[in-house]
């Protein structure tokens, strides 16, 4: 593959006429692996027009025929899974095992969308009045676009793409400019599907390309995943332009550790949540609130697990934690650890300034455990997006829940306990859209919606499952009457 990534528009690979390209860097090796074009507005326009033209025919292709393309896509993704996973690792730094995991979830969304002939069924009532029936149909909205973040380069477009396609829409993917390579490979598979030109398209770029998408009159719906400031801005601009939008934002996910929790199991699960994917999951747990007597035992177990975690290049089998996305990100994370210290926190394990032998140029931050992070401070509220876990303490479950609810984000909250009553109280009262009970990464399966709340989500309908089906369809209600007297006699 050439280093200059291409756009895929109207069924053709096309080189962008962008004046500028951004280098894509392997964060584990610092090697320059590709260049992402900053596609200008004319190229977004070409894709949107091709999609609008394709939509006229595509929406009338029967749903059972549309899903045949998804069955084929699933097979191609299975056959190419290892290569796609390697590409994820090379561009975003996570371990190969983690990349395989994200590919599995991407494929799972394809599988779920294959149920669209049933999932998009409407409903009806006979005789709402004498001789009158009423029906509700679901129809595709037209052209939709998705704007992706860097941290799951394979999976996140698939929270939307299979549902948009299956419900009869045309769809444009704008990958992250930091990690655009895996979608290029995914579209090499899309190119083999034999879809009508314009149904699925890929346009590379960054903010200006996104703005052209948000302002384009032919694009009716926007799905976006990224940081909260970007999600908020994109949601506002899409809504101001009369578009339907769903924008998933950032996170700062807390976990309560109750004194009755099995500390060994909790530690094993939580260290993977906090330090897996180098802390760059929107469902990474980053704050541990110990309750009552859990403080000492958890601190001791977790310090040991933090020190033991193996950091390395994602394609090396032994690595448990890979690189963070960039040199800037590494510098920011290390600076924020310093801010925590200035707020009175104590690093029990300090991962700053360390190198992985053989990968000295890589952007690695080693797992870091901070104790005594003040609840009202900056670090308690800032999404660090790195392998840094903050410890806090509360005396009671109620106090812990109040701390969880006193924050802007609402992506995920978890509890570790042996008490069903405590778990039930937590599940009921906590202000978060994804809840884990003795689970460290409560990632909804593809047949459930990905339910972020508060500053972690702008919109009404989330990605995946029936929410995605509703998002990509409009309801049409038909009220009909057929008086017998009008019928011709045969
Ligand atoms: P980001 O916000 O920098 O970029 C996300 C996308 O938005 C990119 O495609 C980028 O080109 C575009 N973008 C960024 N700023 C923009 C602007 N001002 N105007 C228009 N477009 C803009 O996010 P990132 O660094 O790529 O990803 C990490 C973030 O994503 C973290 O905050 C993480 O929590 C979040 N995230 C959230 C979820 C979720 O489900 N809630 C999932 C994954 C990642």
What is the secondary structure of 139-150 as a DSSP string?
EE-SEEEEE--S
Q: What is the mean pLDDT of residues 230-234?
A: 98
pLDDT score recorded for residue 450: 96
Q: Is pLDDT above 60 for 259? A: yes
In a domain, 448, yes or no: no
Query: Residues of 357-390 as b/e, b for ≥16 C-beta within 10 angstroms?
Result: eebeebbbbbbbbbbebebebebbeebbbbbbbb
The finding on whether 102 has its CB within 6 A of some atom of ligand 1 is no
Both 245 and 308 in a single domain? no
Which residue spans within 38-131 are E strands per DSSP? 123-129
Q: Which of 149, 148, 163 is nearest to 109 (CA)?
A: 163
Which residue has a Cα nearest atom 26 of ligand 1?
Answer: 149
**Interval 166-205: pLDDT, tens:** 999 999 999 999 999 999 999 999 999 999 999 999 999 9
Q: How far is the CA of 225 from the centre of ligand 1 (A)?
A: 5
CB-ligand 1 contact for 391 (6 Å cutoff): no
Judge whether 449 lies within some domain: no
Is residue 225 within 6 Å of ligand 1 at its C-beta?
yes
pLDDT class of 486 with cuts at 50, 70, 90? confident
Domain check: are 344 and 258 in the same one? Answer: yes
pLDDT > 90? residue 484: no
Tell me if 450 is assigned to some domain.
no
Does the pLDDT value for residue 328 go beyond 60?
A: yes
What is the mean predicted confidence (pLDDT) over 470-481? 98
In ligand 1, the atom with minimum distance to the C-alpha of 227 is 32
Of 152, 231, 222, 139, nearest to 452 by C-alpha is 231
Q: Which atom of ligand 1 is nearest to the CA of 150?
A: 26
Decide if 485 is inside a domain: no
Determine the atom of ligand 1 nearest the C-alpha atom of 411. 41
Same domain, 50 and 170: yes
- Is 269 in the same domain as 316? yes
Distance of alpha carbon 266 from the chain centroid: 25
What's the confidence (pLDDT) of residue 487?
82
Is 285's C-beta closer than 6 angstroms to any atom of ligand 1?
no
**Rounded CA gap, 84 and 89, in Å?**
9
Structure tokens at 424: 């039930």
Whether residue 327 is contained in a domain is answered as yes
- DSSP state letter for 4: B
Ligand 1 atom 30, closest CA:
226
Per-residue pLDDT of 406-427, as tens digits, reads: 999 999 999 999 999 999 999 9
392 and 462 both lie in a single domain: no
Percent of the chain's residues with pLDDT above 70: 99
Residue 483: inside a domain, yes or no?
Answer: no
DSSP string, 303-321: HHHHHHPPB--TTSTT-SB
Question: Concatenated DSSP letters for 359-384?
Answer: -TTS-----EEEES--TTSSTTTS--
Closest to 39 measured CA to CA, from 201, 237, 274, 248 = 201
Chain segment 198-230, per-residue pLDDT in tens = 999 999 999 999 999 999 999 999 999 999 999
Residue 420 Cα to ligand 1 midpoint, Å, equals 36
Closest-CA residue, ligand 1 atom 36, reads: 226
Total residue count of the chain as it appears in this document: 490
Closest by CA position to 282, among listed 410, 189, 404? 410
Q: What is the pLDDT of residues 8-44, one digit of tens each?
A: 999 999 999 999 999 999 999 999 999 999 999 999 9
| pLDDT above 60 (res 1) | no
SS3 content of the chain, % helix, strand, coil (to 5): 40, 25, 40
Whether residue 365 is predicted with pLDDT greater than 70 in this model: the reply is yes
Query: Are residue 319 and residue 222 in the same domain, yes or no?
Result: no
Res 2 pLDDT > 90: no
325 CA distance to ligand 1 middle (Å):
13
Ligand 1 proximity of 210 Cβ (cutoff 6 Å): yes
In CATH, what number is assigned to the domain containing residue 83? 3.40.605.10
Residue 351 lies in a domain: yes
Q: Are residues 129 and 233 in the same domain?
A: yes
Q: What total number of domains does the chain contain?
A: 2
Nearest of 65, 251, 16 to residue 149 by alpha carbon: 251
Q: What pLDDT does 232 receive?
A: 98
Q: Are 356 and 364 in contact (CB under 8 A)?
A: yes
pLDDT average, residue stretch 104-121: 98
User: What is the torsional sign of CA 436, 441, 445, 446?
Assistant: positive
Question: Residue 308 is part of which domain span?
Answer: 253-437
**CA–CA separation, 284 vs 275, rounded Å?**
8
Three-state secondary structure call for residue 84: helix
| Segment 132-142, tens digit of pLDDT | 999 999 999 99
Instruction: Give the whole-angstrom CA distance, residue 460 versus residue 463.
Output: 10
Task: Indicate which residue's Cα is closest to atom 20 of ligand 1.
Answer: 207
Q: Is 233 in the pocket of ligand 1 (CB under 6 A)?
A: yes
Please indicate, yes or no, whether residues 290 and 357 belong to a single structural domain of this protein.
Answer: yes
Q: Is 177 in the pocket of ligand 1 (CB under 6 A)?
A: yes
Share the mean pLDDT of the chain. 97
Q: Residue 392 maps to which CATH number?
A: 3.40.309.10
Residue 182 lies in a domain: yes
pLDDT (average), residues 62-67:
98
Is the same domain home to 245 and 257?
no
Query: Taking the C-alpha atoms of 317, 318, 324 and 325 in order, what is their torsion angle to the nearest 10 degrees?
Result: -10
Q: Which two tokens stand for residue 409?
A: 């984000």
Task: Provide the pairing of β-strand 434-437 with 388-394.
Answer: unpaired
The residue annotated as part of the active site, out of 114, 247, 282, 301, is 282
Give yes or no: 414 in active site.
no
Residue 489 has pLDDT above 70, yes or no: no
235 and 305 inside one domain = no
Q: Please state whether the predicted TM-score (pTM) of the whole model is above 0.85.
A: yes
Given pLDDT bands bounded at 50, 70 and 90, which one contains residue 151? very high
- For ligand 1, whether the C-beta of 410 sits within 6 Å is no
Check whether residue 323 and residue 185 sit in a common domain. Answer: no
Q: Residues with Cβ < 8 Å from 131, sequence gap 6 or more?
A: 481, 482, 483
For 284-299, what is the mean pLDDT? 98
231 and 324 inside one domain: no
Strands (E) in 258-297, as ranges, are 285-291
């Amino acid at each position: 593959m050439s280093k200059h990534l291409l756009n895929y528009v109207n069924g053709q690979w096309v080189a962008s006429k962008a004046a500028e390209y951004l280098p894509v860097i392997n964060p584990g090796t610092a090697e320059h692996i590709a260049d992402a074009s900053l596609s200008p507005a004319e190229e977004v326009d070409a894709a949107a027009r091709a999609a609008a033209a394709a939509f006229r025919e595509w929406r009338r292709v029967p749903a059972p025929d549309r899903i045949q393309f998804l069955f084929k896509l699933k097979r191609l993704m299975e056959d190419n899974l290892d290569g796609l996973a390697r590409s994820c690792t090379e561009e975003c730094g996570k371990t190969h095992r983690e990349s395989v995991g994200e590919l599995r979830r991407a494929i799972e969304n394809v599988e779920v969308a294959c149920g669209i002939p049933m999932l998009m069924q409407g409903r009806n009532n006979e005789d709402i009045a004498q001789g009158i029936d009423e029906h509700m149909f679901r129809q595709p909205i037209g052209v939709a676009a998705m704007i992706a973040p860097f941290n799951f380069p394979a999976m996140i477009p698939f929270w939307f793409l299979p549902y948009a396609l299956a419900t009869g829409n045309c769809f444009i993917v704008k990958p992250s400019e930091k990690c655009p390579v895996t979608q290029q490979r995914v579209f090499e598979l899309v190119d083999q599907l034999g879809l009508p030109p314009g149904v699925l398209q890929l346009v590379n770029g960054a903010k200006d390309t996104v703005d052209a998408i948000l302002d384009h009159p032919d694009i009716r719906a926007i799905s976006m995943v990224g940081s909260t400031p970007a999600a908020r801005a994109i949601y506002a601009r899409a809504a101001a332009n009369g578009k339907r939008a769903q924008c998933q934002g950032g996170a700062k996910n807390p976990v309560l550790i109750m004194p009755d929790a099995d500390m060994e199991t909790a530690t094993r699960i939580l260290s993977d949540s906090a330090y897996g994917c180098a802390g760059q999951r929107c469902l990474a747990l980053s704050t541990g609130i110990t309750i009552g007597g859990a403080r000492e035992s958890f601190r001791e177990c977790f310090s040991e697990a933090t020190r033991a975690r193996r950091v390395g290049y994602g394609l090396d089998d032994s690595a448990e934690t890979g690189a963070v996305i960039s040199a800037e990100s590494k510098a920011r994370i290390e600076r924020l650890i310093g801010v925590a210290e200035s707020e009175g926190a104590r690093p029990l394990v300090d991962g700053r300034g360390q190198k992985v032998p053989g990968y000295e140029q890589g952007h690695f931050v080693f797992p870091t455990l901070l104790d005594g992070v003040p609840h009202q401070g900056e670090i308690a509220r800032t999404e660090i997006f790195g392998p840094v876990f903050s410890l806090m303490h509360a005396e009671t479950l109620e106090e812990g829940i109040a701390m969880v609810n006193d924050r802007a984000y609402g992506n995920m909250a978890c509890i570790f306990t042996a008490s069903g009553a405590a778990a039930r109280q937590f599940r009921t009262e906590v202000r978060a859209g994804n809840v884990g009970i003795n689970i460290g990464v409560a990632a909804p399966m593809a047949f459930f919606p990905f339910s972020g709340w508060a500053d972690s989500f702008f919109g009404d309908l989330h990605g995946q499952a029936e929410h995605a089906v509703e998002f990509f369809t409009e309801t049409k209600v038909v009220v009909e009457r057929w008086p017998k007297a009008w019928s011709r006699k045969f």
